[in-house]
Amino acid sequence: MKKTILIIAALMAAFVARADEGMWLLPLLKSLNADVMAAEGCRLTPEQIYSVNQSSLKDAVVIFGRGCTGEIISEEGLLVTNHHCGYSSIQALSTPEHNYLMDGWWARSRAEEIPVPGLDVTFLVSMEDVSDRANAARDQEGGEGLQKFIEELENAASASNPGCEATVESFYSGNVYYLILYKKYDDVRFVGAPPSAVGKFGGDTDNWVWPRHTGDFSMFRVYDKDGKPLKPRRSLEISLKGVRENDFTMILGYPGSTQRYQTAAELETMLASQEVSIACRTIRQDVLKKWMAADPVIRLKYADKYADSSNGWKKWQGEKLSFERIGLLDQKRREEAAFQQWVDADTLRQRKYGSALREISAAASGSTGALCTAYLLFEAPFSIELPQLALQYLRAGMEDGDPGQVLAQYKDYDAAVDKDVARVMLDYYRKHASEAMALDSLGTGYERFADIDIDQYVDYLFAESAFTSREKLEKAAADTTFALQVLDDPAVVLANVMMGKMYGVIPALIMLQYGIPASRTYTAGLLEYYGDRPLYPDANFTMRLTYGKVLPYEPKDGLKYEYYTTLEGVMEKEIPGDMEFDVPSKLKQLYQARDYGRYADKKDGRLHLCFITDNDITGGNSGSPVLDADGRLVGLAFDGSWESMSSDVLFEPELTRCICVDIRYVLFCVDKLGGAGYLLKEMKIKK
């Protein structure tokens, strides 16, 4: 018993020592974080950060699109986020004649700002704890009762708050529930961005790596329902002071997903499924990269698709290496053993939590094969675009949708590229899929997947399908018999076979999405196990605050990285004509003239590009505002350090670093490089 107490005390002490760890819920800042934040250097009260009844910092921070964060930086609805967050929107607006993505572009007036179809931003209105009612509904009527309660509460809240959308989100593995109100705006217009040689400088080579020299930002403007620039409830002030080592920083944003409370068994299942994804994406990305390097038109078409694939691909590899380096699974097992020892020491705890870890382990182990099968299916045959286009076209017809949305996708589609992808992915899938998952019955002569000549089948697929180009599809659709014959199109046949296999892996995907039931019990036990110590919930793309400091770090013996980078580093990395390390001529001219204006650092006179902090972030935080002790904008979060790829599972204070673009470099690029200095006149810039 004495040994158990010592283990628990050590774990608690380790948690408390990590003052900068945590993605904290805003309504709980006053009770959980206010004193620590003040001690760390914050000069704002919790009410100045989050308030329902008056303007606060949270009113300037938005969900940008479907997976990023942005912030409002003027009283005219001007918004800044990362370049990689705006990447898909900018790519969709680009053409070979007007390549905004590669060349960069800035609107010279409001009239030139370009509407972005399908893009929206979402503001947080309020969060209300409804845990007691939600848990009571579940206790009384089970899962169905809980779901009924959630639906009724969401409908009632939406009805009583016109213009808002209500959602109930769970935290701590379903032990806590919040009713969250959001307000969405779908008139968002592209204002400008630097060229990719600035906004994506370093490309995949530098991704997840420090030192970094990337001007990762883009700007948009939010318009209200009347088509006028939005008058926000709050916009951020901008500081030109810059940052120094040990400065307090805080980040508001929407972190997507973490697994801090998952068990070793769950993590082993996750790693196994990631291995499948890494292998498939390696093969597909090699094909895309070959075509993109050979043809600038294809490079533009596939830029966003490649970037979207490679980001996770590189992260998962780094995560695996990081897990091995720190022995993460063994650490988790030791923590679980200490927890189980604590449970076994008390009869009441045994009844409540005694079997939780065993149930989680059994469920995770039993689902590993199914999850790997699901990932193989989605990363291999489902990465072929042709059957996806066919499937979407059929769905649009069945659901009275707009087939034009499918036709529009051909702007960024090349059948020759997709044909190459189809060859390698179908071959890989056949070599690794089980007999039960074989894509049989793909047409006359292609009944048995194991016997198909892949090259011959792919030639047939792309020669005979009506879905290989917009022109071919429009011509076929004009024939009145097309609706009767379309089910025999080889792309439709392939799509239907793939969908049939997908239905077989849905149970595994449901487990992946909703978690193992015993996880709720285990997390409830952890909350009791840690007693009064504050525990933050795993990220789930709800607004969080994290606080920390500007710090250097030492990833290896004898190697110490500074906390900032400068424009000199861009010139040192330059490789003329290279896709990742080319440098725009105008940027070189400004560098040679040392023409940095008021954006130069006051201490050393150089142009600072990026800096690092120990703030706790993850995917979804991209574009989040990095704020100083007074809540002024000093940078934008955009990446994490390679050495801390395990941070979604375990925060390592010595190695976990958030990589940020300095707001002074952002303004320099807008003003000096982009010639759009007029935009700065609407910002609240403080020296």
The residues that are catalytic are 84, 216, 622
Q: Tell me how far apart the alpha carbons of residues 411 and 671 are, in angstroms, rounded to a whole number.
A: 32
Residue 230, amino acid? L
Contacts of 661 (CB under 8 A, 6+ apart): 82, 214, 215, 216, 217, 609, 610, 635, 636, 638
570's CB contacts (< 8 A; 6+ apart) are 201, 213, 583, 587, 591, 609
Angstrom distance (rounded) from CA 344 to CA 337 = 10
Task: Report the candidate in 625, 545, 538 with the shortest Cα–Cα distance to residue 69.
Answer: 625
CA torsion 624-630-635-638 (nearest 10°) is: -30
Q: Is the dihedral of CA 641, 644, 649, 653 positive or negative?
A: negative
Are 364 and 269 in contact by the 8 Å Cβ rule? The answer is yes
Q: For residues 315 and 645, is the Cβ–Cβ distance under 8 A?
A: yes
**Tokens found for residue 66:** 């479907």
What is the Cα–Cα distance from 200 to 206, expressed in whole angstroms? 9
- Angle between helix 490-514 and helix 385-398 axes, rounded to 10 deg: 90
Sign of CA dihedral 41, 45, 51, 54: negative
- Our separate counts of H helices and E strands in the chain read 25, 22
The residues that bridge with 179 in the sheet, in sequence order, are 128, 168
Q: What is the token pair recorded at 477?
A: 């659709």
The alpha-carbon radius of gyration of the chain (Å, integer) is 26
- How many Cβ atoms from other residues are within 10 Å of residue 2's Cβ? 6
What one-character DSSP code corresponds to residue 230?
Answer: -
Q: Which of 267, 376, 367 is nearest to 322 (CA)?
A: 267
Contacts 24+ apart (CB under 8 A), 269-272: 269/364, 269/365, 269/367, 269/368, 269/371, 271/319, 271/320, 271/323, 272/368, 272/371, 272/372
Instruction: Report how far residue 337's alpha carbon sits from residue 267's, in angstroms, rounded to the nearest whole number.
Output: 16
Separation of alpha carbons 532 and 16, rounded Å: 11
Paired sense of beta strands 685-686 and 238-239, if any: parallel
Q: Of the candidates 73, 59, 60, 57, which has an alpha carbon nearest to the alpha carbon of residue 680?
A: 73
Q: CA–CA distance from 273 to each of 17, 207, 332, 369 (Å)?
A: 33, 22, 19, 9
Cis amide linkage into residue 381, ω under 30° from 0: no
d(CA 214, CA 82): 10
Instruction: Give the integer Cα–Cα distance in Å for 332 and 327.
Output: 9
